[in-house]
Amino acid sequence: MKTLILALLTSFTISISSAQSPVGNWKLISHLATFEGKTFDSHTALLTQRPCAARIVYRITDDGNYRLDASASACDESYVNIQQRLYSKTKWKLDGNKLFIGGKEGIGHTYSITFSGNKMVWKSEYGDVITYQKI
């Protein structure tokens, strides 16, 4: 009986220590979406129009905030202000491997989240796949 309890505690401890958190600073590297049966990378499309967007940082904090920081991106001021305002009240919540991103009213999107090395991947029920790299 003691061996079984020890094995369960060890297994539980290992699973907790291997769990990853989205908290940190991230760079968006890909946002695959599908429209009319065709898949495209909307982030790549954005970068062709605004290369400065490659320097935008997404900050996920342990207090539940999800913010876009474009202050060091060298994008024009109006673009920076608009983007940062869009994310000024965005919240996140993780439940198992389900990540909710949205407002505190509960309006937003839920993604399945996975980690691989320094990459974080979000998959939506609509087929979108968003990939971030930790910085």
7 in a domain, yes or no? no
Tokens 């198992």 sit on residue: 96
Q: Rounded to the nearest 10 degrees, how much is the dihedral formed by the CA atoms of 65, 106, 129, 52?
A: -40
28 in a domain, yes or no? yes
pTM of the model: 0.82
User: pLDDT tens-digit profile of 81-123?
Assistant: 999 999 999 999 999 999 999 997 789 999 999 999 999 999 9
Domain total of the chain: 1
CATH number of the CATH domain containing 90: 2.40.128
What is the residue range of 64's domain?
A: 21-134
User: pLDDT tens-digit profile of 15-40?
Assistant: 443 469 999 999 999 999 999 999 99
What are the distances in angstroms from CA 1 to CA 5, 10, 13, 24?
A: 6, 14, 18, 41
Question: Alpha helix (H) ranges present in the chain?
Answer: 2-18, 42-49, 77-86
90 in a domain, yes or no? yes
